[in-house]
Structure 1
Amino acid sequence: MTVKSRIEYRLTEALSPERLEVLNESHLHAGHQPGFDGGGETHMRIRIVAAQFAGKTRVARHRMVNELVREEFDAGLHALAIETAAPGEPVVW
């Protein structure tokens, strides 16, 4: 199972999102560190719309997502960009 699919599974199970995109952006970071060619699944972006975010601050939303994918950092995920919204909020992505 890939990092992307594990993240999708965990977020879907926990948050039942209306919309979810998990993007591998590792290739955008090639050359940022010596020897890193942008391969693999080290830099991910999550775009998610879920009812559980209603009434929560941006920080609280990010904490929720980070807690759900914590194991991926232990397994080698280096960076995670998170874009959240509750249903009915404007989405700019």
Structure 2
Amino acid sequence: MKPVESRILSKLTAQFQPMHLEVINESHMHSVPPGSETHFKVLLATAVFAGKRQVQRHQAVYACLAEELQNGVHALALHTFSPEEWLANKAVPASPQCLGGSKHDDQ
């Protein structure tokens, strides 16, 4: 596991004590150099999210990962669930292919 991915996993585990957590590096699907850690998908199911709206859940994750978001993590695809939601429907949509260009492309 790479350093940024490992930090994200550790921070989310400590903050949310999840019943389910996946941190998936999707950087290879984007216009970034090989081995990058810039784009992640996070699946997070925790009792902390029970009764919370999606925006509140996402804000909590962004607050937890503020340092990573300020230092190289460009995108987080967040899929957040209460335990009941996760047990009822473990389906997570596939991430779309990157449609953006690279900052190195001609403009």
Aligned residue pair count: 88
How large is the RMSD of aligned CA atoms in angstroms?
A: 1.3
Structure 1 residue 37 corresponds to structure 2 residue 38? no
Structure 1 residue 73 corresponds to structure 2 residue 56? no
Residue 6 of structure 2 is matched in structure 1 by 5
Structure 1 residue 24 corresponds to structure 2 residue 20? no
Identity of aligned residues (%): 43
- Unaligned 5+ segments in structure 1 are 31-35
Partner secondary structure for residue 59 of structure 1: helix
Q: Deviations over 1:9-38 (max 9, x none)?
A: 1111111000000000000012xxxxx335
Q: TM-score, normalised by structure 1?
A: 0.88
Q: Distance in 2 between matches of 1:27 and 1:16?
A: 28
Q: Distance in 2 between matches of 1:79 and 1:62?
A: 13
Q: TM-score, normalised by structure 2?
A: 0.77
Radius of gyration: which is bigger?
A: 2
Q: Deviations over 1:24-54 (max 9, x none)?
A: 0000012xxxxx3353100011001000000
Q: Distance in 2 between matches of 1:49 and 1:91?
A: 10
